[in-house]
Structure 1
Amino acid sequence: MKRYLSDTSFKISTGFLLATFALLSILAFVLQGELRQKLESDSSKQVEASGNAIVAELVRQTSLVHSLAESLATVVNSIPFSDQTYHQLLPQLIDINNSNSLVAGGGIWPEPKQLDPNKDRNSYFWGKNKNGSLDFFDDYNLATGKGYRNEEWYVPAKFLADNSCYWSRSYVDPFSKEPMVTCTIPIHKDNEYIGASTIDMKLEGLHQFFQKQSENLGGYVFLVDQNNKFISFPQSDGILIGDNSALINITEFSSKEPQFEHLAKRLLEISQEIFITRSEYQQQHQSMARYLSDNSYQVSPEQANVMASSIINPIKETLGNSYLLDYFQLEDDFLLQEDVNVSIFHVPDSYWKLVVVTPISTDFIAVSKIIKQTSKQIIFPTIITMFIFFAFIHSYFIHPLIRISQHLREYANEPENEQLLEGFGSGDFGKLAYLYNNKTTLVQQSLLEISKSNSQLQIYASYDDLTGTYNRRAFENFIEKLLVSETRNENAIFYLDLDQFKVVNDTAGHIAGDELLKAVSKCIADSLRDDDILARIGGDEFAMIVKAPTIDTALSIAERIKQAISSYRFNWQGNIFTVSSSIGILHLSTLEGDKQKMLSCVDSACYAAKEAGRNRNHLYLPEDHSISERFGEMESLVTLRKAIDENRLFLEYQLIKHITGTAPCGFEALVRMKDSEGNTIYPNKFMPAAERYNATWDVDRWVIEQAIAEFKTIKKTFDTGFCSINLTADALNHEQLLTTIENALSNNDIAGSYFCFEITETNAIANIDLACEIINSIRQLGSRVSLDDFGTGMSSYSYLKELPVDYLKIDGAFVKNIESDIIDHAFVKSITDIAFAMNIQTVAEWVENESIVFTLKDIGVVYAQGFGISKPMSYSNLIKNKSSINNIINKRF
């Protein structure tokens, strides 16, 4: 009995009967005023319910846009940066099914050098074209453009909490001419702000949605953003200005339509009530508003205050289950030309305000109609009609509704297993079932796509894009698990480095290099067993974990891999290349320690294999001399860093003499180090280790700053034209190189034209595009550039035309025997002739006597440097020996 009483059918039936008798009773006694008051109340509730439903739909749409923006931010934190990967993955996330009417575009907007250390602007943005397809836009990355870091939608991102969205003010897209807004999500990595992700939301779909709701309500609906700028309005032409490229705010609109002024005033008051800056937020609010205004050309101080308030989020109060902010009546609405009810709703998170305007006359018409009906004596016919109507309602409404309710309850917590509604015919419930089934299908498809995307993200996070093997992160995870396993000591770790990979890359190009890496990874995989692990951990470096109960087993497997690679012949466009490998081997039974120690030791073993002649394997043992020597190099690095910290570096200067005329001479700054006992240590003792481990930048920076500071005095003491400063490979690749030079010149108030920066030929051709970029940047400072050790490369002449240098410094190996070796003589002369033709001056190193000077002069070499001219001297000794140095400078050959 209790179950029957709680049954929905019983409740609806009983309620319908009771409502029928109640209605008949009320009709007999109702008065015009009471009925009118009730209908007015019901009307306001209906409007409130409709407004809440509209807001809920808005929240659903904005939540979808918010989720898409979060997905883009997740890509940056989940997947190692790859230009190719981003171009493949990001458009798929932006162009999710059924978002074409809602999403206009989106992208990732990193801070300078965050994704690519060589790029200040590196955004990835796609927008939809007229056909609804995504196009990639690179306009924001152009060096000639304004960029994106001063845009109104980007500047607030650094203040946002994780996964929170800043909704921009409404605007008209300059490309598609469609009205839209932007959701901006911050991207943080290791608690550091590194950029933002955005999704552009179309407003055209909202406008159509509001038109439909307006028809249902008999009035009209419009939407304004947090700055009271129109997002949607029935008369869309009235809220556009200029060439329809911008949207106006309510104040500007009220100046055009005076009847709108009262409604505009109330909206402004509500905005002030929503954004209340409490005393504890005052300082933060002012600071944030000032920053937003100063850093975006699109943000006024007034708008900055609104933006800061929305970010700090000081909402006046919670609104419960309703979004209604205010309800009032207006006389003579400018659009409907009659008295109206106005309901203002708050849209959560975005701080938008929805306004619903309905005519009051609708209520009076309904009241008059009911009063006429109640004046007639039709109680008995009404009862019969109600029973017939109830039977019809029960069959065609209550029963289908109960079925739908039961269906929804059954699958409420299992959307992925939800079944479709069937057996509802072609009526309204049939249409409802059809729409519901479509939605259910789309939801299930979306869940499936999300699941596939998550699986793909896991693959991207663990596998190397090129070879399909594991990547470094996955490999290190395997190591961590292996070190705590019971079978730890029955395994070995291999580090493999290809020996001739650079030859293939430089000769046949990067595409050939990539194909070679794929082929080598297959050679290795074919030499391993199914339960062994292979990973690519660097450019041409691979690492393996192999099952090896004994050291002999590990050595046998490594030898098999080495032989497989050395016997492989790589055919590229008819050219045959051979490659070999150097493999470091560490059997875990020989060493205790953590992951970093294991990786460091096996890396050292690989390095030892390369040092021993390449195409060989090297087993790590704790007593290994060659590996101990490498660790000694690491100690040398520590000594160098300590010398820098204790200011034990100093410079010596060697004269660069002009031997063919009277042009000013120069000095080359040469770095030296004092040991703890004051003895001089030359760079050949401490720089090779630093260069090998890419740790020379601190030395480069010190030399640049010290040489520029000391040369300010040297140029006043001697009649010299320039100071030559050496740059290492680390310096060429360091983002602070040009800034360091500029600051040193500025701090010492000296022109860049007094300095020449030397780059070795080897470092220049290692990355010729970067070298050209650095050379041109240095020359823009007024300085000159010298190509040092010229002639040591195999393709010196072929690269020379591409490098815009001022000097060629001929390697001393060709100079020291020039008087007795006709090949050296011919080689130096050929360099000099080519340099002359290219308007490049030449400098000869290792000039040990005056006889060599005369030979060089006859050939046409412009400058000479070496002990035959002058020995290097410290800064203080150079100043003390002013007279003798000036005599050398003024000497004529």
Structure 2
Amino acid sequence: MQSQSRQSPYVPAVLLAVLSAVFYILCKKFLSGGNGGAAIWFADAVAIAFLYRHHYRHWPLLIAAFLSAIIAAGVGVGFGILLAIQYALACLSEVLPAALLLRRFCPREDYFDGLWPWARFTLFSAVLPPLCSAAVGAMVADASGRGSFSEVFPPWYIANAVGILVLLPIALQCRWSTLHSLFRGVDLGRFLVVGALAISCILLILPLATHPFVFASLPLIWAASRLKLLHTLAVIFVAILLMSMHFAGVDRAAQGDGFFLFLAVFASAIPAYVMAVSANIERHRNARIVEMESDLSYRASHDDLTGLPNREAFKRELLEAIGGARENGERHALVHIDLDGFKLINDSAGHLAGDALLQKISRQLGGLLHPTDRVARLGGDEFGLLFFRSTKEQARARCEELLRGITALRFPWRGRVYGVGASAGITEINRHNSRLEDLLSQADVACYSAKHARRGTVMLYEIARSAAAEQHSEIIMASTIREALDRQRLTLCAQPIAPAANTGSVDHYEVLVRMQDDRGEPVMPAAFIPAAERYGLMLQIDCWVVDEILLRRAHQVAGAGFHFSLNISAEALGDSGFQRHLIEMLEHTPIPTRRIGFEITETAMVNQMDRASEFVASLRQMGCKVALDDFGNGLSSFSYLKAFAIDFIKIDGSFVREMESNVVDPIIVESIHQVAHRLGARTIAEYVESASVAALLHSIGVDFVQGYHIGPPLPLEQLLYVGTQLENSGRMELG
């Protein structure tokens, strides 16, 4: 409801008085039948509209104006002052209840937006209030001898109800905005043409047909199907007015003045009225559906917090840029921005502060971009930028300016001032780099590399030349590893370890893991092990190896009769779940634990000192052997060996490869060997590639040697097959 509480009530009061008097005289002079009763009554509808639209405190003045006009008009048409006052009170008995009921039950002015609002509006305006007016008016007429109650009540009720039903909606819609809509351009032309044709048809039918009401309803129905609701109501109002005047005798051709004659006039407009309301309800329903679809579409493509486009909408913009690059050779820049220090604010000041900061940064980013640029919130504290027709060098200069602006931003919150920084990664969209997934990944990786290199910097993604590209290669490799684990593309090999004194006698093997890519091509350990370590996949690999040897192939390994050792990564060594799983496998495997060994790198052993010492002790208590791998490549300190009981120390291959040409390496190897023996451990030299190196190691006293001179890694299936075919005699056991 649009209350006009702020405007002066005097102007509306004067306007109400004038309109009430005009409609009073119109109805009494031109719309009354032979018995003097008005066939239709419009004055009360005007008063109801004025009271409904104005504040309660203005009602006394408006009611006074209305009563004064009605009394004056009544006297003007020939009523005595007392009778005019009585009829004015009868009118007021309808106006007041209708205005009160409408303000109570129809406050939103949605009377024609749905079936229930329309029924509610009709009930509280045109059905119930006229009962009061008709009752009071009939009693006044009966008391004054102008007609009996039963004769006056029905036509009075119908006249008031129809007057309210036809004129009140028009009166309520009489606002400048609505009138402007009614009398503009195409709508005005359609209204005038359709309305004129409908009214003309009715005027042509009236003199020709004895009962023209059915025929008169057809032009109104046609008009209702062509016009908006307010236009249709205006046409219906004019049609009823003209037909009522016709049958009231204005053209001296009245065909009767009975109640049923006028009732038929009103009935002729009902189909068009119902059709107009139904069409309006359907129109509003469709509008709500369109609005809902538009809202859902907006929500689906925009971030609720910042109002920026979301990731999916950004992808569509990115596809447009990709299309331009492929078809026209255009170059664009894709930027991934990640805020630095945002989590600290979110945790210390709360999520409300974090949300407010994101909104502020979003506004700042939007204000610094060109009209052709695109910005989106990708999620969390990450934003995506798309610079159309921009090289990566130009994008870098602009991003550096954006980052300086974000860093200079100060965010006050509850008495404290916060600040954040940002890092950015850039990749160029061109004809040769135009795959959506690759571009998003490249920008993300470049941003990740920028954050780890030095926060607040911008890093370009240069294929095969940048740290970001190397990082990206590792990410792709990590994905390949996950896929290999899921699709069983890991395999096992075993490399022999022989006594230095007799390299032809092999009874011990180190189990090594290998991987195949999606084309079945082998992937070398140097390519996938670093990525697995960086992205936390070594634990899964170690679990797979343990289950493969100790569970799924345990009977084959036990039947082959050889000793073997498994590698344990730093991640697995520090995982209590893995430790429990390995102990459980050792307790139930058919392989004798004295033939099982584990290799742990020096760095992993030191970094997991407390857990490693207990775990190593548990393994040795079960009969397993433990080797310290890559010794000398890490901290190169003998002091921590006092905390562990180790069975083997594997001398790092970097000291073995060049023993013949480097005078220092033999000294280091001999020192490690001597210390190991004094601690009760035996030594294994890695990367033995020639017989001369093997002989030199034997002369130093190294116990075992491993490398391509002894034998390359063999597929485990081949080794198991050969092992089951050979006799166990003649094999030397380690330990």
TM-score by length of 1: 0.34
Q: Which has the larger radius of gyration?
A: 2
TM-score by length of 2: 0.40
Name whichever structure is richer in helix by fraction: 2
